Amino acid sequence: MRLSRGNRELILNGSLVRAVLAIALPVIANSFLQTLYNLTDTYWLGRIGTEPLAAINLVTPMQNIVINFGSGLTTAGAVLIAQLIGAGDDKRASRMASQILFCALLFAVVSAGALSLLSPAIVAWLGAEGLTYQSGVDYLRIVILDMPFLFLVNIFQAVNQAQGNTVRPMVLNLSGIGLNLVLDPLLMVHYHLGAVGAALATVLAKAVPALIALYLLTNPREPVRVGRQWMKPEKENLRAIIKIGLPTALGGSAMQFGFLLMSRTVNTYGVQAMAAYGVGNKINGLITLPSNAIGSATATIVGQNMGARKIERAKKGYLISMGMAVSFLFIGGLVMGQKSISTAIVRLFAQEEEVIRLAADFQSLMATWCFFNGVYNATTGLFQGSGHTEITMASDASRLWVYRFATLYFCRHVLRMGVESVWYSVVVSNAIAALVLLLLYFTGIWKKNRVKIQK
């Protein structure tokens, strides 16, 4: 609790560089642990066959569509709770957290059941056949059952991050990743369960931190907590959750559906291309972890300062955050973009030479230009923290549905670039989206706080 209050004072009145680092560094570690879930699956699946690896890469965007829609609730929670904390209203922040928890768990249970039933039709629509189809169905049906656990952990993270405490979510995830590291080889290799083993390992590994999160969230000694007495829906709070959360939910889901269509396009080039696409994306996700973490820190810093009506300090926090993110990614990208280095990294997750070649090309290109992610993540954090999630919704959707697919069409049908058209569409669309968001920052629209704090 002392850490949360200490970070609150740092965010509102202390060094903003220290505030960014205090929030972002644990988020980086936490995100790295989360990424290890996927990388561990990728590593062991790469050892047992290209088809199971391709199957998971193919169906993961479908899982993410539902998860991202539900995550709009937790994103709204982080923004609303941060601004309520900045305004000094911890009691209402607890009421808000309780209602968000109820809504998120209800959504998780309903959508997990529906998606499990629809899995065969979804995987068939994606164009999978044979072993890739069966592995995809088995994996999706099981792994989607982790949604209630995932949302419990996400809400715990949102509540703590809104207070400036990102250490506890990081520590919590250590239990899950440790269990996953043991269960993956045990279930996938020792018991020869393949994609089913990967899904079971993920679900079981998420259950442990979720139960711990529930215990901590309901602890009456916490400054912001959840309680059954606050879970009865309240019109004003639900209106605020929908106002802030729905745009994020729609934008995130639209973006993930775009990823799904991208996966469907890549799959037309064969299982090697599909496997390479998944490996490259996962490695790039690891490279850009610091940028994503700084974006989260930006949202918290902006949210609390907007709640305290310190607009210029919110602006300064954003500019510092963006400078840090861009600088890190530019230097890191120059190193990771070297072909020899990208090839060496890809070899950790793939066995076939064609998969290695394709993934190394993809990863090298993305790493070289990943500094645009620093602009995108920090500016997204600015608009989220000020409650302008409709802008982030439009940006997320446009990045996939306009910039990426337009570039993909041009490279594929005009330049006849083959599978490389996918690689370039990712890089170009990320750059355009970042520049558009930066232009919107200069309009000053973010200064109008959309979160109305009522006592």
What pLDDT, in 10s, does the model give residues 317-339? 999 999 999 999 999 999 988 98
Residue 252 CB contacts under 8 Å (≥ 6 apart), including other chains: 68, 69, 71, 72, 396
> For residue 360, how far is the Cα from the chain centroid?
23
- Rounded CA-CA distance 388/444 in Å is 12
Around Cβ 121, how many Cβ atoms within 10 Å? 10
**For residue 5, what pLDDT band results from cuts at 50, 70 and 90?**
low
Extents of the domains making up the chain: 2-447
Average pLDDT estimate for 124-138: 88
Question: Quick check: 293 pLDDT over 90?
Answer: no
Whether the CB-CB separation of 81 and 445 falls below 8 Å is answered with: no
- For 227, half-sphere exposure in the C-beta direction (CA atoms, 13 angstrom radius) is 14
Query: Comparing C-alpha atoms, which of 99, 65, 422 is closest to residue 265?
Result: 422
CB atoms within 10 A of CB 261: 16
Q: Are 144 and 116 in contact (CB under 8 A)?
A: yes
Q: Which two tokens stand for residue 448?
A: 């109008």
| pLDDT over threshold 50, residue 455 | no
Largest CA distance in the chain: 62
Compute the average pLDDT of residues 287-307.
89
Among residues of the chain, what percentage have pLDDT more than 70? 95
Which residues are CB-contacts of 411 (< 8 A; sequence separation ≥ 6)?
A: 417, 420, 421, 424, 425
Burial class (CB in 10 A: 0-12, 13-18, 19+), 283: buried
First to last CA, the chain: 23
Q: In the structure, what pLDDT confidence band is assigned to residue 316 with cuts at 50, 70 and 90?
A: very high
User: What's the chain's length in residues?
Assistant: 455
CA distance 68 to 96: 20
21's CB contacts (< 8 A; 6+ apart) are: none
Q: Give 41-86 as a 3 state SS string.
A: HHHHHHHHCHHHHHHHHHHHHHHHHHHHHHHHHHHHHHHHHHHHHH
Give helix 420-443 / helix 371-385 axis angle, nearest 10°. Answer: 40
Query: Regarding predicted confidence, which is higher, 447 or 74?
Result: 447
| pLDDT of 1 higher than 50 | no
Which residues have CB under 8 Å from 453's CB, separation 6+? Answer: 83, 84, 87, 89, 307
Question: Which segment, 189-203, 292-306, 364-378, 392-406, is predicted with the most confidence on average?
Answer: 364-378
User: Which pLDDT belongs to residue 39?
Assistant: 67
Q: How far is the C-alpha of 400 from the C-alpha of 394, rounded, in Å?
A: 10
Phi/psi at 443 (5° precision):
-70, -20
All residues at 6 or more sequence positions from 215 whose CB lies less than 8 Å from its CB, including other chains? none
Four-residue CA torsion sign, 303, 306, 308, 310: positive
Cα distance between residue 400 and residue 313, in whole Å: 32
Q: Is the pLDDT of residue 417 over 70?
A: yes
Alpha carbon 202 to its chain centroid, in Å, reads 16
Rounded (5°) CA angle 35-120-188: 45
The pLDDT value recorded for residue 37 is: 63
Residue 63 has pLDDT above 50, yes or no: yes
Which amino acid is present at 267?
A: N
More confident position, 392 or 71:
392
**Range among 4-8, 255-259, 362-366 rated most confident:** 362-366
Q: Report yes or no: 430 and 376 within 8 Å, Cβ to Cβ.
A: yes
Predicted TM-score (pTM) of the model is: 0.71
pLDDT value of position 444: 93
Please give the Cα distance from 240 to 279 (Å, whole number).
Answer: 39
**Is the separation of the CB atoms in 380 and 358 below 8 Å?**
no
Specify whether the CB–CB gap between 189 and 152 falls below 8 A: no
Q: Are 97 and 231 in contact (CB under 8 A)?
A: no
Is residue 303 packed enough to be buried (19+ CB in 10 Å), middle (13-18) or exposed (0-12)? buried
Q: Taking residues 191-210, what's their average pLDDT?
A: 88
Return the sign of the alpha-carbon dihedral for residues 34, 38, 43, 48. Answer: positive
- Yes or no: say if 346 and 363 are a contact pair by the CB < 8 Å rule: yes
Of 35, 52, 347, 348, the residue nearest 197 (C-alpha): 52
Q: What is the mean pLDDT of the chain?
A: 85
Q: Are 115 and 137 in contact (CB under 8 A)?
A: no
Provide the token pair at 348: 């950790």
